[in-house]
């Protein structure tokens, strides 16, 4: 499964947020998938459509899609020099599919900031700098190798040019995710060289409770990280919310001028940043969301349920959730002529409720 690595300077609230995230593991333990590692938080992707499907089909249970977060402890200034935790840290980031930086915005005289003052901008720059330095080291070796190779093989020339273009972006202090494409860097090619800053970034701003509804502050923090996504939450509050009933949690959130918990926002943002989407299946046993990549075809989507479904794919019977919701039953949707039979070239759309036909 794709994972999002959580990074951040010490004392910004990573552990607090991660503890809130892993509270879900108890819940997730009922899900039909493999064991959950202690440093992995599996967060269900909130999806109200599943509740409605379960009502229509009388499903016994609901299985939402999930997003996995990995706690990557140990970034400090100098991590790129590979000292102490540095190497392990970089190896862990290399394995993650996206990077989520927790940034401290809350003020609390009792919680020491490593640099002596709270500054979201300089925290972000510190981590960027470490990752950029690590990438520049990787590139130094790659460029030397590609220069030799391209003298013999002309196929290596584009790889070399791309590596040199990436180097320029990084030398200007910009991550490849933020500045690579605009500078003509092929990010997929750069990713193959193991460059960390090609990964998508998400920023979580850990705020004071009274900053949760401060739209001006959010806008100014957002502008620090654009075009990457930003999530605003209070890590301590998220911990408390996990211990409440959904109703009490909702009431508490509304009291702070928020509509949805920060962890829910983080799950949705993470899912989107990873380039994922879901399709739905429903029946008396379960209503379920299945995770696919954006742009996948019906047979590829079927393969997520079972590889045999992909191999033996014949047709997909598809209805849109909106039609099903309106009509109230599968029979009514069919009677209204709104059920479609789709073939192997069909590209899945968000909100498709599907039944696959296949031959074994």
12 binds ligand GDP per the rule CB under 6 A: yes
Specify burial of residue 355 (Cβ count, 10 A radius: 0-12, 13-18, 19+). middle
Q: What is the distance between the alpha carbons of residues 154 and 146, in angstroms, rounded to a whole number?
A: 10
106 binds ligand GDP per the rule CB under 6 A: yes
Q: Report, in Å, the least distance between residue 110 CB and ligand GDP.
A: 7
Question: Which own/partner pairs from 86-92 qualify as long-range (CB within 8 Å, at least 24 positions apart)?
Answer: 90/134, 90/196, 92/5
10 binds ligand GDP per the rule CB under 6 A: yes
Determine which helix (DSSP H) or strand (DSSP E) holds 96, and give its type and residue range: none
**What DSSP letter does each residue of 281-308 carry, written as one string?**
EE-SSEEEEEEEETT-BHHHHHHHH-HH
Q: Which of 162, 206, 264, 273 binds ligand GDP (CB under 6 A)?
A: 206
Q: What is the distance between the alpha carbons of residues 324 and 282, in angstroms, rounded to a whole number?
A: 11
Nearer to ligand GDP, 103 or 298 (CB): 103
Nearer to ligand GDP, 89 or 296 (CB): 89
DSSP 8-state assignment for residue 329: S
Q: Which stretch binds ligand GDP (CB under 6 A): 3-11, 157-165, 178-186, 338-346?
A: 3-11
Nearer to ligand GDP, 16 or 156 (CB): 16
Nearer to ligand GDP, 56 or 127 (CB): 127
Residue 334 annotated as binding site: no
Residue 12 annotated as binding site: yes
DSSP 8-state assignment for residue 129: H
112 binds ligand GDP per the rule CB under 6 A: no
Nearer to ligand GDP, 12 or 166 (CB): 12
Residue 343 annotated as binding site: no
Q: What are the binding residues for ATP?
A: 11-16
């Amino acid at each position: 499964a794709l994972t999002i690595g959580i990074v951040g300077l010490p004392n910004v609230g990573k552990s607090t947020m991660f503890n809130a995230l892993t509270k879900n593991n108890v819940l997730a333990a009922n899900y039909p998938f493999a064991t959950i590692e202690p440093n992995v938080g599996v967060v269900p992707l909130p999806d109200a459509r599943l509740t409605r499907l379960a009502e229509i089909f009388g499903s016994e249970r609901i299985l939402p899609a999930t997003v996995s977060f990995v706690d990557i402890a140990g970034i400090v200034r100098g991590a790129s020099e590979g000292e102490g935790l540095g190497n392990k840290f970089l190896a862990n980031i290399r394995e993650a599919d996206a990077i989520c930086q927790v940034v401290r915005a809350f003020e609390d005289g009792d919680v020491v900031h490593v640099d002596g003052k709270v500054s979201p901008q300089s925290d972000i720059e510190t981590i960027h700098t470490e990752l950029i330095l690590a990438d520049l080291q990787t590139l130094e070796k790659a460029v030397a190798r590609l220069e030799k190779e391209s003298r013999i093989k002309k196929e290596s020339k584009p790889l070399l040019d791309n590596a040199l273009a990436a180097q320029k972006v990084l030398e200007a202090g910009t991550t490849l995710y933020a500045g690579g494409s605009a500078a003509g860097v092929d990010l997929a090619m750069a990713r193959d060289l193991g460059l960390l800053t090609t990964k998508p970034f998400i920023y979580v701003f850990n705020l004071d409770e009274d900053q949760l509804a401060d739209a001006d502050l959010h806008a100014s923090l957002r502008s620090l990280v654009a075009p990457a996504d930003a999530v605003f939450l209070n890590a301590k509050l998220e911990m408390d919310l996990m211990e409440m009933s959904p109703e009490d949690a909702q009431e508490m959130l509304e009291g702070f001028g928020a509509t949805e918990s920060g962890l829910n926002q983080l799950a949705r943002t993470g899912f989107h940043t990873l380039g994922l989407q879901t399709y739905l299946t429903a029946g008396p046993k379960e209503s379920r969301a299945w995770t696919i990549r954006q742009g996948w075809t019906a047979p590829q989507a079927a393969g997520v349920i079972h590889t045999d479904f992909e191999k033996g794919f014949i047709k997909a019977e598809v209805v849109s959730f909106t039609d099903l919701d309106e009509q109230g039953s599968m029979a009514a949707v069919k009677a209204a002529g709104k059920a479609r039979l789709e073939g192997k070239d069909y590209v899945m759309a968000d909100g498709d409720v599907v039944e696959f036909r296949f031959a074994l």
